[in-house]
């Protein structure tokens, strides 16, 4: 596996851990301020995870063509 692909996968795993922490806040008893912040951060992180997924797919494609 290329170093680039490995880096992307590690970044994705780290972002999933961060997203899960925000999901726990959203699943906890409702606290308006915490829930609003967690919701925004969850969405930001999910967009980043989606971008990392696309980058991983692109790196996989490039690696398979070599």
Taking a C-beta distance cutoff of 8 angstroms, is the pair 56, 8 a contact?
yes
pTM, 2 dp: 0.87
- Over residues 34-39, the mean pLDDT reads 97
Which residues lie below 8 Å from residue 25, measured CB to CB, with a gap of 6+?
Answer: 34, 35, 37, 38
**Residue 66 reports pLDDT greater than 70:** no
Report pLDDT digits (tens) over 39-56.
Answer: 999 999 999 999 999 999
Q: Is the pLDDT score of 29 beyond 70?
A: yes
The CA distance from 17 to 37, in Å, is: 17
Which residues lie closer than 8 Å to 49 by C-beta, 6 or more apart? Answer: 12, 15, 16, 19
> Does 1 score more than 70 pLDDT?
no
Q: CA end-to-end span of the chain, whole Å?
A: 12
């Amino acid at each position: 596996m290329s170093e680039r692909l490995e880096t992307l996968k590690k970044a994705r795993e780290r972002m999933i851990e961060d997203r899960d922490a925000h999901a726990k806040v959203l699943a906890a008893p409702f606290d308006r301020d915490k829930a609003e912040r967690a919701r925004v951060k969850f969405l930001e992180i999910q967009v980043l995870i989606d971008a990392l997924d696309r980058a991983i797919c692109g790196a996989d494609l490039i690696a398979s063509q070599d």
